[in-house]
Amino acid sequence: MPAPWIDISRPVQPGMAVWPGDPATRFERVQDLAKGDACTVTRLSMCVHAATHLDAPSHFLPDGKDMTAMPIETGIGRARVIGIENAKAVTAAELAGHGVRKGERLLFQTANSQRLAAPGPFAEDFVSIAEDAARYLAEKRVRLIGVDYLSVGGFHDDGAATHRILLEAGIWLLEGLDLSGLSPGPVELVCLPLRLVGTEGAPARAVARQLARRDRRA
């Protein structure tokens, strides 16, 4: 029997953590059955980089493509969850022991995995991808990288540099995942962003299911 699908995207709700300075997530009930309206209608206001989302090249590259340029197959197929032991950053030294291959989809499970589980303040000390790891991944030409906090780049270091290195290498960035329900190893991933025209990012729904370790295809 195949393993069950697990929702690895974060629920979108008012009060959820967002990057400092980004707009808060808001729901506004503009029509309501309880008030005698013909139906219930809600207006949603949120940043495209809140909760689970993808970054397009145009997020940090002046001539980068927008979200509509992402090939559908980028977020669909075999992926690999890598458990990160370093409590501060994903480093090139740690990744070197995992046999990273060209074209892989990699999901980094770090100490962040419990931090976005409920509404709460932004955590400035989240585990991020160090610049040397970004360069390593760029050299390996991986296809997609997923992280379990709101950014691949750190808050206190130069997170913009990490973004640029990865995006310039043609790597799509999936941020804000909940990887707490998965074990390190191969998984099947389905992740599609909203088809937002002209934006540098988009909210996404992501699901995954564990695969047998003998199935190492990526």
At 136-190, the pLDDT tens digits run 999 999 999 999 999 999 999 889 999 999 999 999 999 999 999 999 999 999 9
- Indicate whether 218 belongs to any domain: no
Q: Which of 59, 98, 156, 163 is catalytic?
A: 59
Domain count, the chain: 1
pTM: 0.94
Residue range 89-116: average pLDDT? 94
Nearest to 142 by CA among 201, 186, 102: 102
Range of the domain at 182: 6-210
Residue 119 lies in a domain: yes
Match 């932004």 to its residue by tokens: 122
**Rounded to whole angstroms, how far apart are CA atoms 29 and 9?**
24
Number of H helices, E strands in the chain: 3, 12
pLDDT in tens, 184-212: 999 999 999 999 999 999 999 999 999 99
Whether 215 maps to a domain, the answer reads: no
Three-state SS at 159: helix
* Residue 1 included in any domain: no
CATH number, domain containing residue 99: 3.50.30.50
Tally of CA atoms within 13 A in the half-sphere of 155 that contains its CB: 13
Q: Is 59 a known active-site residue?
A: yes
Longest C-alpha distance within the chain, in Å? 62
